[in-house]
Amino acid sequence: MLQDGTLQAAITPAEADDPWPHHPAPARRAIHICLCGGFSQVDSFDYKPALETYHGQKFGDIDSADVFFGQIGLLRQNDWAFEQRGESGLWVSELFPHLATVADELTVIRSMYAETSNHTPATFQENTGFRLNGFPTAGAWLSYGMGAETDELPAYVVIPDARGLPAGGSINWSNGFLPARHQGVVIRSQGTPIDDLFPAQDISPDTDAASRDLLADLNQRHLEARGFDDTMAARIKSYELAARMQLAVPEVTAIDGETEETHALYGIDHETTQDFGRSCLLARRLLQRGVRFVQLFSGGAFGSPRINWDGHEDMQQNHGREAARIDRPVAGLLHDLRRTGMLDDTLVVFTSEFGRTPFTQSASDVLGTGRDHNQYGFTTWLAGAGLKHGIAYGETDEIGWKAVVDRTHWHDFHATVLHLLGIDHERLTYYHNGIQRRLTNVHGHVIDAILDA
């Protein structure tokens, strides 16, 4: 527990040989808000006045545009008005009115690009660095490389959208080729929070306790008869930890005990925001108790009706609905982390697999209402420890179509996130398929320009 603000050393030890941290770590834990479907940079953080000028005109570079559904309609201006916010003057649109109030906390990267505009490979790359199934997510890498500041909770926790899992389900928090213990553990806000926490049948507490005692006794005798064995001794210990986890998990998920004011801060008092508000508050509680990495999903699978950010048909309707669900909770989370002091050594990451096109997805002479996937230029932001705040890094072109200044690949993004967490991305490795694998493959450069030097 971190009630007094003091930090404990990693209690669930890291598995990687290279001890953490590789360098002084500004951040000790992270929360990743992962938006499924692709949120629009030109409607949120990447203000393009030229789009207003060209609104309804043909996109000039039409011959070279290669987009997912192959339809290149007319250019469309931002559907939400932009304003400069806070002391920093960072541009944030009315899509995120609450986030706008904490604009001075944000470090926006407006020059992201991805290798594919197909949702799932792009999501894999966003989370694992690779376009394919079978690679560990950043959370799994952190569990492997950093361990956790608690042994009563998992190092890597996933909280899916209340409406459903993202496409591919648990593939999205896989350990890949890392040992299975590093995969994300789903914690639910309702029902049993994690699998098998308590007996699936009625077993009296008395019998349960006596059974554990007997088990410890049998295992101890077995161990003594054998001399000594590391792994068998570890199994005895793991039953003690399991008992503590049975206490810790219900405690951490009991968010009703938080004050009304806190509930309101996260939007738990409103129908639209209560789902994501609960997730954000739960995430804060988990981090507070030593979990290393919490991944929150905003949005479920693809298809109709839409339950994620994939605004092909009608941006106003789609992004309006999705942003309303998360804007206040995320802003509340940043407020809360700041006032508790946690933001001083916590990293907040806000991403989606790609952005959206500045032109609409429609026939070439039609001004439609939806936008297609855009792998060539999009926005992410970070907040918290070790960063320059209230800045925007990188630029897309005049209309927000392609990143052109300080182009940032996911590998660079990941290298930077790892750096902020005290990890040299070239040193966090695991041998698989003939090579010491990394989150950043054989690429990636830390973006020094956004670091608080």
Partner 1 sequence: MQSVRIGPIRGHPRSVRISRRATQSRIAACLLATLLAVGGLSIADDDVAEVDRPSAASTPDVSALLARRCLECHSGLDPKGGLDLTERRRAIEGGDSGAAIVPGQPDESLLWQYVRDGRMPPEKPLSEKERDRLQAWIAGGAEYLLDPIDPLRYTTESRAGIDWWSLQPIERPAPPMIENSEAAAWAHNEIDRFVAAKLEKNGLAPSGTAERRVLLRRASFGLIGLPPTPEQLDAYLADTSEDAYEASVDRLLASEHYGERWARHWLDVVRYGESQGFERDKLRPNAWPYRDWVIDAFNNDLPYDEFARMQIAGDVLAPGDADAIAATGFLVAGPYDEVGQNQQSAAMRAVVRQDELEDIAGTLGQTFLGLTVNCARCHDHKFDPVSQREYYQLTAALAGVRHGERKIMTPDMEREIGTLTEQVTHLRQKIEKLEQPVIQAVLAERNADPAAKTAPQPISRWTFDDDLKDDIGPLHGDAHGLARVENGFLLLDGKDSFVSTVPLEQPLTEKTLEAWVKLHNLDQRGGGVVSLQSTDGRVFDAIVYGEREPARWMAGSNGWVRSQEFGGPAETEAADRPVHVAIVYSPDGTITRYREGRPYAEPYDSGGPVTFEADASQFVFGLRHGTAAGGNRMLTAAIDQIQVYDRALSAEEIAISAQRPEVVSYETIWKRLPAEQRAAYDALHAEVDAARQRIARLKDTRVYAVTPREAEPTHILLRGNPASPADVAVPAGMSAVCGVDPDFGLAADAPEAERRVRLAEWITSPDNPLFARVIVNRIWHYHFGAGLVESPNDLGFNGGDPSHPELLDYLAADLIEGGYRLKRLHRMIVTSATYRQASLARPECLKIDAANRLLWRKSPMRLEAEALRDAVLSVAGQLNPQVGGPPYQDFTTFVFNSQFYEMIDPAGFEFNRRTIYRTWLRSGRNSLLDAFDCPDPSTTAPRRAVTTTPVQSLALLNNSFILRMSDAMAHRVVSDAGEDEAAQIDRIYRLAYGRSASDREIARLSPFVEQHGLPALCRVVLNSNEFLYVE
Residues of this chain, 386-425, that bind partner 1 according to CB under 8 A: none
Residue 440 sits in the site that holds partner 1 (CB under 8 A): no
Residues 274-313 that bind partner 1 (CB under 8 A): 300-304
Query: Hey, which residues does 384 pair with through a beta bridge?
Result: 347
Residue 205 sits in the site that holds partner 1 (CB under 8 A): no
Residue 120 sits in the site that holds partner 1 (CB under 8 A): yes
Q: Give, rounded to a whole angstrom, the gap between the first and last alpha carbons of the chain.
A: 30
Stretch that binds partner 1, among 22-30, 119-127, 250-258, 282-290 (CB under 8 A): 119-127
Residues 361-380 that bind partner 1 (CB under 8 A): 363
The residue within the footprint of partner 1, chosen from 21, 86, 97, 134 (CB under 8 A), is 134
The amino acid sitting at 122 is A
Query: Hey, which residues does 378 pair with through a beta bridge?
Result: 112
Residue 97 sits in the site that holds partner 1 (CB under 8 A): no
Residues 29-68 that bind partner 1 (CB under 8 A): 66-68
The residue within the footprint of partner 1, chosen from 88, 118, 189, 317 (CB under 8 A), is 118
Cβ-based nearer residue to partner 1, 274 or 441: 441
Can you say whether the dihedral through the CA atoms of 84, 90, 96, 100 is positive or negative?
negative
The residue within the footprint of partner 1, chosen from 171, 187, 418, 447 (CB under 8 A), is 171
Residue 164 sits in the site that holds partner 1 (CB under 8 A): yes
C-beta of residue 140 within 8 angstroms of C-beta of residue 183: yes
Please report which helix (H) or strand (E) contains residue 185, including its range.
strand 185-186
For residue 342, the tally of other CB atoms under 10 A from its CB is 22
Nearest Cα to Cα of residue 125 among 34, 186, 43, 44: 34
The rounded distance, in Å, linking the Cα atoms of 301 and 310 is 10
Q: In the chain, what's the furthest Cα-to-Cα distance?
A: 82
The residue within the footprint of partner 1, chosen from 167, 287, 296, 349 (CB under 8 A), is 167
Residue 227 sits in the site that holds partner 1 (CB under 8 A): yes
Smallest gap from Cβ 269 to partner 1, in A, equals 30
The rounded distance, in Å, linking the Cα atoms of 324 and 305 is 17
Residue 94 sits in the site that holds partner 1 (CB under 8 A): no
DSSP label of 148: B
The residue within the footprint of partner 1, chosen from 49, 199, 250, 341 (CB under 8 A), is 199
132, 319, 106, 86 alpha-carbon torsion, rounded to 10°: 170
Residues contacting 386, CB < 8 A, separation 6+ = 26, 27, 347, 420, 451, 452
Cβ-based nearer residue to partner 1, 302 or 314: 302
Smallest gap from Cβ 205 to partner 1, in A, equals 12
The residue within the footprint of partner 1, chosen from 1, 7, 81, 210 (CB under 8 A), is 210
The rounded distance, in Å, linking the Cα atoms of 274 and 268 is 4
Cβ-based nearer residue to partner 1, 49 or 239: 239
Cβ-based nearer residue to partner 1, 140 or 382: 140
C-beta of residue 51 within 8 angstroms of C-beta of residue 76: yes
The rounded distance, in Å, linking the Cα atoms of 372 and 117 is 9
Residues 334-363 that bind partner 1 (CB under 8 A): 363
Smallest gap from Cβ 242 to partner 1, in A, equals 4
Smallest gap from Cβ 148 to partner 1, in A, equals 11
Cβ-based nearer residue to partner 1, 143 or 416: 143
Cβ-based nearer residue to partner 1, 175 or 273: 175
The residue within the footprint of partner 1, chosen from 83, 121, 251, 316 (CB under 8 A), is 121
Residue 84 sits in the site that holds partner 1 (CB under 8 A): no
The residue within the footprint of partner 1, chosen from 133, 250, 339, 449 (CB under 8 A), is 133
The rounded distance, in Å, linking the Cα atoms of 143 and 411 is 19
Cβ-based nearer residue to partner 1, 88 or 219: 219
Cβ-based nearer residue to partner 1, 86 or 164: 164
Query: Hey, which residues does 405 pair with through a beta bridge?
Result: 395
Residue 211 sits in the site that holds partner 1 (CB under 8 A): yes
The beta strand positions in 45-151, using DSSP E, are 82-85, 90-93, 106-113
For residue 278, the tally of other CB atoms under 10 A from its CB is 22
CA 283 from chain centre, in angstroms, equals 11
Stretch that binds partner 1, among 175-183, 291-299, 339-347, 445-453 (CB under 8 A): 175-183
Stretch that binds partner 1, among 48-56, 89-97, 179-187, 269-277 (CB under 8 A): 179-187
Query: Hey, which residues does 184 pair with through a beta bridge?
Result: none
Nearest Cα to Cα of residue 48 among 25, 17, 77: 77
